[in-house]
């Protein structure tokens, strides 16, 4: 699978640093969480799906790191940096062992199919 990303050669040199550093702090925070936790859920307030994902993980007895960024009325620009980085259009963004597995619906399918337990080495 290949995701279309504008090649750096097609970005004018005068703006490359701006593009590269746009809300880099939020991406770095999520990367650090992914490096230090087997399961990471990135969400936002007021959205029921991050809460649903967290409840599913809790029912499985799994520890996870939860990062929350704003709500429907705030921080959308910062969250947009995460969407551009991952290519995933919605929240939550769930990472298992450093791999983006999708959102709450995808998590539910992995749990039901036993794949989450396999990804975590039998711990689900």
C-alpha dist (Å) from residue 100 to 1, 38, 56: 14, 11, 17
Non-local (6+) Cβ contacts of 117 within 8 A are 123, 124
**In terms of Cα–Cα distance, which of 101, 85, 112, 97 is closest to 19?**
85
- Residue span of the structural domain in which 57 resides: 8-119
Residue-wise pLDDT for 5-41, tens only, equals 999 999 999 999 999 999 999 999 999 999 999 999 9
From first to last of its 124 residues, what are the pLDDT tens digits of the chain?
A: 788 899 999 999 999 999 999 999 999 999 999 999 999 999 999 999 999 999 999 999 999 999 999 999 999 999 999 999 999 999 999 999 999 999 999 999 999 999 999 999 976 5
Tell me how far the alpha carbon of residue 15 is from its chain's centroid.
26
* Buried-exposed string 8-18: b where 16+ CB fall within 10 A, e elsewhere: eeeeeeeeeee
Residue 33 lies in a domain: yes
Q: Which of 100, 98, 117 is nearest to 38 (CA)?
A: 98
How many domains, in total, are found in the chain? 1
For the entire predicted model, the pTM comes to 0.93
Q: What CATH number should be reported for the domain holding residue 79? A: 3.40.30.10
Q: What confidence score (pLDDT) does residue 124 get?
A: 58
Q: With CA atoms as reference, report the closest residue to 120 among 31, 72, 60.
A: 60
97 lies in a domain? yes
**Cα–Cα distance, 115 to 98 (Å, whole number):** 15
What pLDDT, on a 0 to 100 scale, did the predictor assign at position 27? 97
Mean pLDDT over the full length of the chain: 95
Q: What is the pLDDT of residue 70?
A: 96
Residue 87 included in any domain: yes
């Amino acid at each position: 699978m290949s995701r279309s990303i504008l090649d750096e050669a097609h970005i004018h040199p005068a703006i490359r640093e701006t593009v590269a550093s746009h809300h880099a702090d939020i991406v770095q925070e999520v990367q650090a969480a992914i490096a230090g936790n087997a399961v990471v859920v990135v969400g936002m307030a007021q959205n029921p799906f991050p809460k649903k994902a967290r409840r599913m993980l809790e029912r499985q007895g799994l520890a996870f790191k939860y990062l929350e960024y704003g709500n429907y009325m705030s921080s959308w620009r910062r969250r947009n940096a995460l969407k551009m980085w991952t290519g995933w259009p919605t929240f939550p963004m769930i990472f298992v062992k450093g791999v983006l597995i999708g959102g709450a619906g995808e998590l539910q399918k992995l749990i039901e199919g036993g794949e989450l337990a396999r990804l975590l080495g039998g711990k689900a």
